Every structure is written in structure tokens, then in C-alpha cells.
Amino acid sequence: MAYENLDAELLNALQSDGRASLRDLASDLDVSVTTISNHLDELQNSGAIIDFSPIVDYDALGYDVTAVIQLKVEGAALPDVTDRLQREDQMVSVYEVTGNHDIIAIGRFEDTDQMNRKIKSLLEDKDINESNTSVVLNSVSEYEQFDIGMRN
């Protein structure tokens, strides 16, 4: 394997099997275990790999309601609101966005009553001016990743 593509191949292999051993990765990519270990360290140190963690199926754990919550906030308070949302247990994603709203948060809830309580508590926040919530009816695609392109 050409080393200029090794990082992309390694990232793609890890996306397919995040639990693969260094030995298996080295064998699949036709390089030494030491080379794989060194490249993994470099990818982690550069921030390209943030963490190794499981993908949790929230539906299987009883969190059947997914809500997409769009919020308008006071301009200067945007960083504070996103920080608070990020610390909320059931907010799995928080984005600052352009458009009619300032923040989009994705929350997972056990039922609509729990979702309703969370939304009402958000609206008590003086920095949040408006919310618009959509309940997901069907998750067509979730947690998808894509192969990293090769550099020539």
C-alpha cells in the first residue's frame, strides 16, 4: 500500500470496524503493526480521530422519541445557550446554524411527555426567544459516515 493513502484507508477500516485490532488492521492494509500504531497516534494527536466509542441504539433502550428542536436566541447569548444544551443529558447533537433559527438541537426522549417537559424548560430560559420542534416519525439514516477520499 502507498503510504500517502494509508491514513484514509486506516480511517475507512476503523469506520467499518472500530474494534479491529492493530494486527488485523496491519494485515488488511498490508503494513506493519508499528506503522498502524504510529499512524493511529498521529491521527489522534491531530484531532482527526476524536475518540473510540460505541454507537448506542437509543430506541433499544426505550428512548423512542426523537425531536429536532430549532431555537432563536438572543445574539450575544448564543455560546452560553449552546453550552447549556450540550450539557443536557438527552441532547445528542447541538448545532449553531444559519437561517431562521440560531440553534438546532436533536434530543432523544422516552416519550412525548418527557420531550414536552424539556421543551417547556427550554422556553423558561430568558435567552431563548422562540422554539420550533419537529418529532421524527422514521429514522431513514442515522450515524452515517462516509469513506475518506484518497489523495493522489
Q: What is the pLDDT of residue 149?
A: 83
Q: Can you read off the three cell numbers belonging to residue 57?
A: 441504539
Q: What is the pLDDT of residue 53?
A: 86
Same structural domain for residues 42 and 92?
Answer: no
Residue 147 domain-assigned?
no
* Each residue's pLDDT tens digit, 32-79: 999 999 999 999 999 999 998 888 899 999 999 999 999 999 889 999
Q: What angle do CA 105, 107, 112 make, to 5 degrees?
A: 130
Mean pLDDT of the chain: 92
User: If residue 148 lies in a helix (H) or strand (E), which one and from where to where?
Assistant: none
Same structural domain for residues 36 and 65?
Answer: no
d(C-alpha 73, C-alpha 78), whole Å:
6
Q: Give how many domains the chain has, as a whole number.
A: 2
Residue from 73, 134, 78 nearest 106 by CA: 134
* Each residue's pLDDT tens digit, 87-137: 998 999 999 999 999 999 999 999 999 999 999 999 999 999 999 999 999
> Is this model's pTM higher than 0.85 or not?
no
d(C-alpha 98, C-alpha 113), whole Å:
30
Range of the domain at 99: 59-135
Same structural domain for residues 71 and 125?
Answer: yes
Same structural domain for residues 96 and 131?
Answer: yes
What sign does the dihedral 146-106-50-55 (CA atoms) show?
negative
